[in-house]
Amino acid sequence: MKQFILAAVLLLSISLVAMAQRDARYTQYMFNQQMINPGYTGSADWLSFTGIGRLQWAGIDGAPKTAGLSVHTPLGRYKKFGIGGYVEHDRIGVHNQTNAFASYAYKFILGESRLAIGLQGGVAYLRSDFTQVKGNENIDITIDNAFADNQRNLLPNFGLGLYLYQPNKYYLGVSAPHLLNNNLRSDDGVTTIARQYRHYYAMGGVVIGNEDFRVRPSFLVKMVPTQAPIQLDANLMFLLKEVLWFGASYRTAFGNSDPFAQSESINGILAFQFPMGLKLGYAYDYTLSKLSNFTSGSHEVMVGLDLKDPKGMGRFVTPRYF
């Protein structure tokens, strides 16, 4: 069993370098979409912070660990544009990737709705510590040149997004957070060892109900054409008394001959929304794929803080639902 897990992690690490690491996933994406759509920047009427930490596939050595922090705010007399940014660190096996991006969005007023066009730019620093990989009596890596040297790559990139919404009613969006298909090169600067691939997202959600009980269905679709199955997150959340969020989501992959294209997980979400702008959330992903034989699931925590004005926090009569 241990030999199988070690081999699986090594193969996963190699495959990630071969096709470049996929964007990090978040189960509580609906509480902060800035890291997947720059058009979301400034969509709230106040300064907003969100931090998310994720431990995926608990119990498997080298499994993904992700942490991200974002901030954004509207600006201007009529709050017609927004600025923000985020930092994110993602680790899987011997690979560490740190992203730092700034974003800007301009809003067009369409009656009660807003159409925001967002742009983001920044860098990703990818470090692969191949010399830290250890073998055993059945797996000998000393003869494999792929593990002979560590690799470092600094990759600039930019992205675009459209975000159509009516505050606290509905939203629809499409985005490509990283438009450049960067080549990852070895330390000699010549040999290409991997490549980044463009990710596309489509998202939407709506809120139905009153202040005693609200229902919020939402979805997120992620596509990496020709490189991975299409991934769908379908979510249904409930809000009691404008304080307690609870619900579940289902994650699956389809549209590809990949044998791993199947149901991935069913996820439970619980969050508290306090009247002073603080939000706390927890998500647990129960693995449905064959990995369930080796992991107890995935865990994710979220902390959000909305500031109504620079002088401090005030009571939120109508909290934010997206």
Q: How does DSSP assign 11-70, residue by residue?
A: HHHHHHHHH-PPPP--TTGGG--TTT-GGGTT-SSSEEEEEEEEE-STTSTT--EEEEEE
Stretch 217-231: mean pLDDT: 88
Check: CB of residue 45 under 8 Å from CB of residue 167.
yes
What is the CATH number for 82? 2.40.160.40
The domain of 70 spans 2-307
pLDDT digits (tens, 9 = 90+) for 241-290: 999 999 999 999 876 555 555 788 999 999 999 888 899 999 999 999 88
pLDDT of residue 297: 92
Q: Has residue 125 got a pLDDT over 50?
A: yes
Nearest to 231 by CA among 207, 206, 203, 205: 203
In a domain, 322, yes or no: no
In a domain, 131, yes or no: yes
In a domain, 193, yes or no: yes
In a domain, 319, yes or no: no
DSSP state of 290: G
In a domain, 94, yes or no: yes
pLDDT above 70 covers a percentage of the chain that reads 79
In a domain, 103, yes or no: yes
- The upper half-sphere exposure of residue 21, i.e. CA atoms within 13 Å in the direction of its Cβ, equals 26
Q: Has residue 310 got a pLDDT over 90?
A: no
Q: What is the dihedral of CA 26, 206, 246, 297, to 10 degrees?
A: -30
Check: CB of residue 222 under 8 Å from CB of residue 247.
no
Stretch 190-202: mean pLDDT: 76
Nearest to 21 by CA among 321, 235, 228, 233: 228
In a domain, 312, yes or no: no
Task: Fill in the amino acid letter for 60.
Answer: I
Torsional sign, CA 24, 28, 31, 37: positive
Q: Has residue 211 got a pLDDT over 80?
A: yes
Classified as helix, coil or strand, 177 is coil
In a domain, 196, yes or no: yes
The pTM assigned to this predicted structure is: 0.84
CB contact set of 214 (below 8 Å; sequence gap of 6+): 207, 208, 238, 239, 321
Task: Please give the tally of structural domains in the chain.
Answer: 1
Helix (H) or strand (E) holding 8: helix 2-19
Nearest to 265 by CA among 299, 238, 239, 240: 299
pLDDT digits (tens, 9 = 90+) for 145-181: 555 667 788 889 999 999 999 988 999 999 999 998 8
Check: CB of residue 203 under 8 Å from CB of residue 190.
no
